[in-house]
Structure 1
Amino acid sequence: MADLAITASAVLAGTNARTEQGVAGETITAGKLVYRDATTGKYMMSDSNAASASARVVRGMALNGASDGQPLQIARPGCDITMNAVLTAGVTYYLSDTPGGICPLADVGTGEYFQPIGVAKSTTQLAFNPTLSGVPG
């Protein structure tokens, strides 16, 4: 399998969403998983095999696209997110080794850290609740 193919224009946080505003530190599209860089305060894409532990953390999911220096809104954990991706209801999805990506467990490989980011509630909706396991693959 591969990372979820997310249509950026279809990413929509549910009515239960808590959101946060910030500034992008790189080009980010809607649906990408992000962390906030401690040095710059800007949002960057999370990555399950990043050398930096902070980059392996998921703070939220981008709700809009932005380039470096532009405003970015993210959905914080604990909400439902609808996206035009083919999810399998009941399946847990994980942070990918592709920056900002989401993948099924089968795609988490050696040298990556297991970080569940949510469980599919349906074929289009994810219960977004990332947890940091700290367990390397």
Structure 2
Amino acid sequence: MTDLVITAASVVAGTDAVRDIGTAGETLTAGKAIYYSASTAKWMLADSNAATAEARSAKAIALNGASLNQPVSVQKGGSITIGAALTPGVAYYLSDTPGGICPVADVGSGEYVGLIGLATSASVLALDFQYSGVAL
């Protein structure tokens, strides 16, 4: 699977961003896909082949780096400059690398399908988190 190579310092929320603030449940890097753990009340790295449906369902993108129990700003919707080279019009999905994002063509067998968003330019992703609950 080929994940986006994200430059954390280049991740920037768009003017239409839907944001939230929470606590990191592990080390997070800006640009990583994350989910909110109901059991710990913390943000964790999402993973398309994780053991639980909760962890397979990305809900936001980390906007800053944070270590365990540190505050993290997250983006749940709107446009984001993701800090990576995108192909306009391509759908991007949660990958099987914790926090990773990949193009639709790289979603592999056995992975649960979870849309992150659509590229509106070579650098901007329109976030649209959708979890299918279906594995390929």
Distance 2:117 2:82 in 1: 13
The whole-number CA distance in structure 2 between the counterparts of 1:102 and 1:6 is 9
Q: Give the TM-score, by structure 1 length.
A: 0.96
Separation in structure 2 between the aligned mates of residue 52 and residue 83 of structure 1, nearest angstrom:
26
Q: Offset at 1:49?
A: 0.3
SS at match of 1:132: strand
Query: 1:21: which partner in 2?
Result: 21
Report what 1:131 is aligned to.
130
1:109 aligns with: 108
Question: Matches of 2:64 and 2:46 in 1, distance apart?
Answer: 16
Q: Is the 8 A contact 2:47 2:98 kept in 1?
A: yes
Residue type of the alignment partner of 1:113 = Y
Aligned residue pairs total: 136
The 1-side partners of 2:69 and 2:120 are apart by 34
Query: Equivalent residue for 1:5?
Result: 5
What is the TM-score normalised by the length of structure 2? 0.97
**Contact 2:53/2:133 (8 A) holds in 1:** no
Equivalent residue, structure 1, for 2:44: 44
> Deviation of residue 106 (structure 1)?
2.1
Match of 1:88 in 2: 87
CA distance in 2 between partners of 1:104 and 1:15 (Å): 24
Q: After superposition, give the CA deviation of every residue in 1:47-74 in whole Å (9 maximum; x if it has no partner).
A: 0000111001111000000000100010
- 1:103 aligned counterpart, secondary structure: strand
Deviation (angstroms), 1:12:
0.5
Deviation at 1:135, TM superposition (A): 1.4
Asked if residue 53 in structure 1 is aligned to residue 42 in structure 2, the reply is: no
Structure with more strand by fraction:
2
Q: Please, which runs of 5 or more residues in structure 1 have no aligned partner?
A: none
> How many percent of aligned residue pairs carry the same amino acid?
56
Segments of structure 2 that go 5 or more residues without pairing to the other structure are none
